[in-house]
A and B are shown apart, each in its own frame.
Chain A
């Protein structure tokens, strides 16, 4: 079992919908959880990070961590075509391990 599991998609949703992206993990040592967004032919860029279980909100984005279930989520409200990208979850102990990424398409 890989340390971090993420459904690669693709996930297509209409503009304005709420998007839910998820990852599961197996290593209970992970303390720091991140979501990166990657546009085609670009490097990943950090969207959100959180230390602990619970929710963290930033504009249209909400990151959720449930350590007891080893499950993290990213919610995007009022999705826009510009949100179309690959979203990677990542987790850190002394190194950062990434999920495979989920390709998201927002349909105008």
Chain B
């Protein structure tokens, strides 16, 4: 079982470049989320979706866009990368409210 798959695992960007972090799940989960994890800051919610066509902002949405055209995929777009976006990004999915979330293995992004 693939679960939650994130690509790429590692990425280096130059300031100002744009890119898309991919997240796919094969569990037919309605809920998907993106988090960033920085030292001493825990997991901070960037954007989340409760179903295809529905997205909402989390705690730290600035500089990121998302869309949810299918149940399986929830890509995260960095519009113009900044060094402050250097972080580890995790995608998670869950079957709905009050069900456990499953995480991908993370994408380590460095912006220089």
Contact = CB atoms under 8 A, between A and B. Distances in A.
Contacts of A51: 98
Contacts, number: 58
Interface residues of A, number: 25
A49 B100 contact: yes
Interface string B33-55: 10100001111110010100000
B33 to A, nearest CB: 7
B101 interface: yes
Interface residues of B, number: 26
A88 B98 CA distance: 17
A90 B100 CA distance: 10
Contacts of A60: none
Interface in A17-36: 31-32, 34
Interface stretch (A67-75, A77-85, A97-105): A97-105
B50 to A, nearest CB: 6
13 contacts: A31-B98, A32-B99, A34-B101, A42-B105, A42-B106, A43-B90, A46-B100, A49-B100, A51-B98, A92-B97, A95-B58, A98-B42, A98-B43
Given A43-B106, A46-B101, A100-B42, 8 more contacts: A8-B42, A42-B106, A43-B105, A44-B43, A45-B103, A46-B100, A51-B98, A94-B97
Interface of A: 6, 8, 31-32, 34, 41-46, 49, 51, 88, 90, 92-101
Interface of B: 33, 35, 40-45, 48, 50, 56, 58-59, 90, 92, 94, 97-106
